[in-house]
A = this chain, B = another copy of it.
Amino acid sequence: MQLNQFARLTKSQSEQITELQRIHLLPKDFTQLPFQVLAQDIFQRLFPEAHSQSTQSGQLSLLQATTELNLTAYLETIDTSFDQVVFYNVALQLLGFEMTTDFELDQPTAFMAATKLPFIDQAAFDQTTFIEALYLLLTTRSQTGLLYLDQLANRGFFADWQSDQPQFLIFNGKVQPVFDTSHLIREVVYVESSLDTDQDGQRDLLETTIFRPRETEAGLKIPALYTASPYYKGINDVDADLHNVDTTIATKPVQQPSLADLTQTPTTAPLPQPRAVNGTSMTTELNATDDSNYSLNDYFLARGFANVYAGGIGTRGSDGVRTCSSPEETASTTAIIEWLAGNRRAFTNRTDGIEIKAWWCNHQVAMTGKSYLGTLATAAATTGVEGLKTIVAEAAISSWYDYYRENGLVVAPIDCQGEDADVLAKLCQTRQKDAADHALSGTFFADQLKALQEGQDRITGNYNAFWAARNYRDNLANLNCDVILVHGLNDWNVKLQNAGALWDLLRDQPVNKKLFLHQGEHIYMNNIQSIDFTDMMNLWFTYQLLGIENQAVTKLPAVTIQDNAQEATWTTQADWLAPNNPTTTFWLNEQTLSTNATENAPLTTFKDDGVAAFRAQKISTTAWQDALIADQSSFTGNRLRFLGFPLTEPLIIDGRIQFRTRVAVNTERGLLSVLVIDYGQFNRLGTTPAVLAAKGQQLGYQWRYDDLKEFKLNRPSNYQVITKGHINLQNRHNSYQTDAVTPNEFYDITLDLQPTHYDLTAGHQLGLLVYATDMGMTIREEQAFVYQVDLAASQLIVPHLND
């Protein structure tokens, strides 16, 4: 176990005293008190659940101080000095660690050092040092991953904290859970957008759900964490709408448009007038019946930040139609921010024209969310909308071409074969859940779905105006808020190019930006034990939204990466995909990869005829990939495999591995797929974190829970995927221009694989697989073709960190 910590601030002694007094842990007159009395008093205050002297004393007696004495007894013995070993014996127990199981009674700091817990390295504490150690303890991570002060808060330390004039409480630069979550206001308003996407002659109203502490009713202005979630009101079943992937890849006509040609004609329909305002109100008319669904938001709700959820156009309760992340969806996302910032109108209901302001909001907004939710945060950020101070975009799409397409191919997100922009639009057009609303808008939606289907163009798979309109990176110049990106290094749903290409552009954008890369697939990372991500977000939002100068920008590392070779290990670096990273070139020969240029490497061939066997075996795409990668299987003939020697030195890959080759195919079209593999029987980190404790992280006093999780080393496995790539041979120059393929003619191909960071440790072997049909991601054409690869003209160019 390693409890890495990045968000703890170092405070001066006087600041520590002020803060300890602010939370009523250190009495105002502490200097007047004998050390013994003070220490007894303080330890008793660490048991907010105990309401009598006897019970508090009983709790202290459960803590072992020395081999002989419990804490109550030890406290009787102290005069001017508190033994450091005793302090940390007790501290570890307070933090939830167990004697013998976790640490040895007389060696607490050995355990603390190994676990990365901070301590004061001094044999005995006088009263001053004791107070310092107490402050440090409160800001130390406990066994649950939560800070000790958060644990105290969860046990009622801040219950009844608020007075008539509620306020935020800051400790160690972070906002504390002093708000009453048992009386939240849960309400719905209708934000009026400047859109009429369903063309009903009225501006689209956007249902917006707000959860805010009732302390706002007493006048406190609070920031908003806004999650734009098209899934908030549920999703539609689209199984029947998935596209058939058991089809052919088209032979495309030669086309050479310029990038500038790829623009969509803007809609010319005139925008209806805004609704008339017939009155104003400070109270809503509809209670929210759906609940929040991101534990990080819940955590901040207990700390006084409103949670705002909106699905946007076409979702249940709102007007309009889904268009899969078009500029209109972006505008329907930013409309909510404009309302929160005081720059747009909302109504209490759909009909009466009663305006309601976000009067409780301090006009400071951050966006959170994963996947489509993070995508809309990215979309909003690239508009430069006023009021949006920062986004935390997790596993977010930055260009939808990089989600559903790749280099002129239809390439599905993993486990999503047949999905496309139109399917996703239908999945989210949840207005259809209200039958009478569907009766009004269903036909119009069905019609515009056809336009989506045409625009997305599953025939060519080319980048075009449709996809250009959904490439937020093109708008990056507008971005003026600070950005946090989070992505899983094993995410094959939203592939890493989405984070990578955005990061490349952010590098020179004059905003603060931070990046977190974890070892998960398509998941959130706020409940991972080994890193204080939530605390970092607290520091970040406290700075961004409350304006507290807390060093957030300097405390958070630029790039934080979880290591894939060991548990609970997070490293920081100045950049990711740094342009000046060195590269190592691997040359191909029959079945080998070598850093020495190969002489007389042959031509070699493989036959792409695995689809029939894949279908006959009725196996999953995961099982197929296992078989393809394995030494021998019924799919061995469908791929070329090249293995490097076991590494003698670790190789920390960082960047986009590039595969260069010369290839021919015996028909007029074709594709190449490439897998880079870490081979060798080793224990590897699982890509799905294990639940260490269900409901192991409480988010506030008598409030919600999240599971506590960690990535654990698995039983020995034979391989792990490092990265992948796919390319249509007709798109050998780029994704929007199409060239011809002449049967059996060789073409130079340069394929940048998905960007990554991978710690390939000594003993492991780098592996390369070259094949065509990818059962899990590409179209699965049954007709068999033969590919020739000129190994003499092939290299794998691997960027890595300096040694």
Q: Which A positions have Cβ atoms within 8 angstroms of B?
A: 48-52, 54-55, 57-58, 61-65, 70-71, 93, 98-101, 105, 154-156, 182-183, 186, 236-237, 284-289, 291, 293, 348-352, 432-439, 618, 695, 702, 705, 715
A721 to chain B: closest CB distance in Å?
22
CB-CB under 8 A from A702, the residues of chain B are 186
Name the one of B98, B186, B352 contacting A433, with C-beta atoms under 8 angstroms: B98
Q: Which residue of B lies closest to A51 (CB)?
A: B285
CB-CB under 8 A from A695, the residues of chain B are 291, 293
Name the one of B100, B154, B182, B349 contacting A54, with C-beta atoms under 8 angstroms: B349
Q: Is the CB–CB distance between A434 and B62 below 8 Å?
A: yes
Name the one of B50, B70, B284, B289 contacting A155, with C-beta atoms under 8 angstroms: B289
Q: Is the CB–CB distance between A352 and B54 below 8 Å?
A: yes
A437-B63 Cα distance, complex, nearest whole Å: 8
Q: Is the CB–CB distance between B432 and A54 below 8 Å?
A: no
Q: Is the CB–CB distance between A54 and B715 below 8 Å?
A: no
A93-B285 Cα distance, complex, nearest whole Å: 22
A-B contact pairs, 6 of them (CB 8 A): A55-B348, A55-B349, A62-B434, A64-B439, A155-B287, A156-B287
A291-B154 Cα distance, complex, nearest whole Å: 11
Name the one of B57, B288, B435, B618 contacting A62, with C-beta atoms under 8 angstroms: B435
A52-B287 Cα distance, complex, nearest whole Å: 11
Q: Is the CB–CB distance between A49 and B287 below 8 Å?
A: yes
Q: Is the CB–CB distance between B55 and A289 below 8 Å?
A: no
Q: Is the CB–CB distance between A98 and B432 below 8 Å?
A: yes
Name the one of B52, B289, B351 contacting A349, with C-beta atoms under 8 angstroms: B52
A354 to chain B: closest CB distance in Å?
9
Q: Is the CB–CB distance between A350 and B286 below 8 Å?
A: no
A290 to chain B: closest CB distance in Å?
10
Which 3 A-B residue pairs are closest in the complex by CB-CB distance?
A: A64-B435, A70-B436, A182-B182
A226-B52 Cα distance, complex, nearest whole Å: 27
Q: Is the CB–CB distance between A98 and B618 below 8 Å?
A: no
A65-B439 Cα distance, complex, nearest whole Å: 11
Name the one of B49, B100, B439, B705 contacting A286, with C-beta atoms under 8 angstroms: B49
Q: Which residue of B lies closest to A436 (CB)?
A: B70
A795 to chain B: closest CB distance in Å?
37
Q: Is the CB–CB distance between B286 and A55 below 8 Å?
A: yes
A349-B434 Cα distance, complex, nearest whole Å: 56
Q: Which residue of B lies closest to A102 (CB)?
A: B237
Most buried by B among A63, A236, A349: A349
CB-CB under 8 A from A71, the residues of chain B are 436
A52-B350 Cα distance, complex, nearest whole Å: 12
Known: A49-B286, A52-B285. A62 touches B437 (CB 8 A): yes
CB-CB under 8 A from A237, the residues of chain B are 101
A511 to chain B: closest CB distance in Å?
35
CB-CB under 8 A from A285, the residues of chain B are 50-52, 54-55
Name the one of B51, B58, B436, B438 contacting A287, with C-beta atoms under 8 angstroms: B51
A621 to chain B: closest CB distance in Å?
14
Q: Is the CB–CB distance between B236 and A101 below 8 Å?
A: yes
Q: Is the CB–CB distance between A61 and B286 below 8 Å?
A: no
| Known contacts A62-B434, A99-B435, then 9 further A-B pairs from the complex at CB < 8 Å, ordered by chain A residue | A49-B287, A50-B286, A55-B285, A64-B435, A70-B439, A99-B438, A105-B435, A156-B289, A186-B702
CB-CB under 8 A from A65, the residues of chain B are 436
Q: Which residue of B lies closest to A281 (CB)?
A: B52
CB-CB under 8 A from A99, the residues of chain B are 435, 438
Q: Which residue of B lies closest to A67 (CB)?
A: B439
CB-CB under 8 A from A62, the residues of chain B are 434-437
Q: Is the CB–CB distance between B436 and A64 below 8 Å?
A: yes
A249-B702 Cα distance, complex, nearest whole Å: 52
